[in-house]
Structure 1
Amino acid sequence: MGKGGRILCIVTPYALTIASLICIIIVGLGCTNSSSDTLNDLYFFRANIQNMTSTSTNSSKVSEALSKAGVTVSDGDISSALEQVQKQFNLSDFYDIGLWGYCSGNITKNDYEVTECSKPKSEFWFNPVQVWGLEETGLENGLPSGLRKSLNLYKNVSKWMFIAYIIAFVATIIELVVGVFAVCSRWGSCVTTLVSGVAFLFTAAASVTATAMFATVTGAFNENLKNYGMHGSMGKNIYVATWLAVAFSLGAALFWMLSTCCCSGRSPYNHKNKATRGITAEKAPYTYEPLGPQGTPNTSYPPPPPPAQNRTNAYEPFRHV
């Protein structure tokens, strides 16, 4: 198979690599533009605090936690603090968390309308204590221990998740660049296969980390804050995008590997090929062959024309092998 077949063999993994890169870009664009409804629907986690209330069926545990932290307040003081947070800091109805930042907005008849988004920041993690102003009300140490542990885990793991996505993005771009050289030879396919393996590993690692981490955060959020009318949920579209990136990256890696052992770019009709150099066709038996003047076979082809008057050449009826 020649260059044309080699190109056809490379088209499939190249297209899968492009698809994986697009999905990774979609994940990164989530929660970055408040005016785009499509991008606003790309979030890892959503905190719905529209129905946040100052009363709780579990107020005694919160009071106990505050007492251990050195803050002496009653249930009425906690209720007043929550009301003060809502009035003083003008909290939004919901907060969406993405890879680079978060977006917030209001809920009108079950319609989530984003009003603003934070500036993109590397290694971003959403700190509700700072965003919601809890540190100024004395409620920072009053958060349930399970929620605080989940927030600390989210803070540490989110940095690794961000780095993994960046490496996956860069490796996928390098895979596209190196993949051009795979058209020329199998060595190019070999190098591209190695790069695609790195891209797949980090894409899968980032996707697994994001899914597991935000599933933990969602469970802790609902378990500890549901008594205050707050609810957390995981997004859908962004997880579809990130796992599609994993699937496309895996398919590209497999097809790049396949291209290293098939679809050679060297033409079988290349006359410079040493394997075909010097090969001559064998003469079939029982064929006529001109003889020389002394009855020896004439090795020149085509045979020279016979003399005009004195014709000494003769033809052997059969050549026996």
Structure 2
Amino acid sequence: MGKLGRFACIFVPMALTLGSLICLILVFSGQLNKNNSLQRDLYFFKANTSQFVSNPDNEAVDEANKYFDNDLLKALQGAVSTNDLQDFYLVGLWNYCEGNQDDKTGKETVTKCSKREANYWFNPIEVWDLENTTAQKLFPDKMKDGLDVYRKVSKWMFAAYVIAICLTAAEFVVGIFAIFSRWGSLVTTIVSTAQTIFIMAAAITSTALYGTLVGVFETVLKPYEIKASTGSKMLSVLWIGVAFSIASGFFWLISVCCCSGKSGHKKVVVEKTPYTYERVASPYLGAAQHGHEMHPPVAGHGTSGSAYEPYRAQHV
């Protein structure tokens, strides 16, 4: 029952750790395969350019704090004419995917995904092929500053995700040894604590970073009807993984204090005394049968009152 109880105690945090690992794998898989609907729906950031307008009105320009520039507009118009500007862009951890949107049904079809890169960040100047235009230099300062921060922080964010998924896998493996002892639970708790720190850091960074990037796009590119949004499904999966991580750490800590795995029953070992006595068969020594005379015992030796019962010693 001890080992069985220990296994039951470890099962809950192991299941939660596995859940956190699955969530991180889903985050890593976002936008890696354009033919997989689940991976297509998992993105951190989306830029929708399907409603792009080439003649923004003055009111829209004023609302955007006059982040309007004729050179930028001409560059975007050129990108539309050469089909460099797609209807939407979906940004994942490793790359981005682009595609077209049906005007009648609104159905989106992914046509291409970029190659995978570590420390990836979405650069609209490069993606929209504006590198060789004056628009690259005439992007508003707010846009430039926002993209610069995004580029720098994305490196830390990617590293945090890689460390988090490695620690989650290690936590699951080390957790197997926790079945056999509390020391295993202690080591697993330490690994789980580190994993929780990194997955929370990655989640907070992603949420804040892409939320800020959406604000920059909405402010600067609003006159062109270029809209931006964060991926609710991706962030939901990510924060569910964080919740699993926190819960698993809590139960790993409990397993350090409870369910030792040892049986509550102890064997009782009774040692035999070095000498035991057993009764001699009657009549004593069978002397009368052979005609030998039996002498009465000497008083005080082997007697108790008037009764006398001889014993012989046997060494065990």
Aligned to 1:93: 87
Aligned to 1:115: 111
CA distance in 2, matches of 1:78, 1:236: 30
TM-score by length of 1: 0.80
Provide Cα deviations, 1:26-74, integer angstroms capped at 9, x if missing partner: 00000110111111000001000111122233299457xx7xxxxxxxx
Contact in 2 for aligned 1:89/1:133 (Cα 8 Å): no
Aligned to 1:137: 133
CA gap of 1:62–1:12, structure 2 versus 1, over 3 A, is closer
Aligned to 1:189: 185
Query: 1:246 offset after TM fit, Å?
Result: 0.4
Provide Cα deviations, 1:271-308, integer angstroms capped at 9, x if missing partner: 4xxxx77799xxxxxxxxxxxxxxxxx9988x845744
SS of structure 2 residue aligned to 1:232: strand
Aligned to 1:242: 238
CA gap of 1:120–1:277, structure 2 versus 1, over 3 A, is farther
Contact in 1 for aligned 2:120/2:154 (Cα 8 Å): yes
Letter matched to residue 7 of structure 1:
F
After TM superposition, the structure 1 = structure 2 runs for residues 28-67 of structure 1, keeping only pairs within 5 Å, are 28-56=28-56, 57=58, 58=61, 61=66
Aligned to 1:227: 223
Aligned to 1:167: 163
Aligned to 1:84: 78
Provide structure 1 residue ranges, at least 5 long, that are not aligned to the other structure.
67-74, 281-297, 314-321
SS of structure 1 residue aligned to 2:221: helix
CA gap of 1:189–1:218, structure 2 versus 1, over 3 A, is same
Aligned to 2:10: 10
CA gap of 1:256–1:107, structure 2 versus 1, over 3 A, is same
Give the number of aligned pairs: 281
- Please provide the CA RMSD for this pair: 2.6
Contact in 2 for aligned 1:171/1:199 (Cα 8 Å): yes
CA gap of 1:86–1:300, structure 2 versus 1, over 3 A, is same
Query: 1:113 offset after TM fit, Å?
Result: 1.3
CA gap of 1:138–1:260, structure 2 versus 1, over 3 A, is same
CA distance in 2, matches of 1:244, 1:149: 31
TM-score by length of 2: 0.82
Contact in 2 for aligned 1:54/1:78 (Cα 8 Å): no
Aligned to 1:125: 121
Provide structure 2 residue ranges, at least 5 long, that are not aligned to the other structure.
285-306, 310-316
Contact in 1 for aligned 2:84/2:129 (Cα 8 Å): no
Query: 1:217 offset after TM fit, Å?
Result: 0.5
SS of structure 1 residue aligned to 2:85: coil
Query: 1:80 offset after TM fit, Å?
Result: 3.6
CA distance in 2, matches of 1:251, 1:82: 48
Which of 1 and 2 has greater Rg?
Answer: 2
Aligned to 1:203: 199
Provide Cα deviations, 1:78-134, integer angstroms capped at 9, x if missing partner: 544332121125321000000011010011122121111111111100110011011
Aligned to 1:147: 143
Letter matched to residue 95 of structure 1:
Y
Query: 1:270 offset after TM fit, Å?
Result: 4.6
Contact in 2 for aligned 1:164/1:202 (Cα 8 Å): yes
Query: 1:13 offset after TM fit, Å?
Result: 0.5
After TM superposition, the structure 1 = structure 2 runs for residues 248-287 of structure 1, keeping only pairs within 5 Å, are 248-271=244-267
Provide Cα deviations, 1:202-224, integer angstroms capped at 9, x if missing partner: 01110010001111011111111
CA distance in 1, matches of 2:242, 2:225: 36
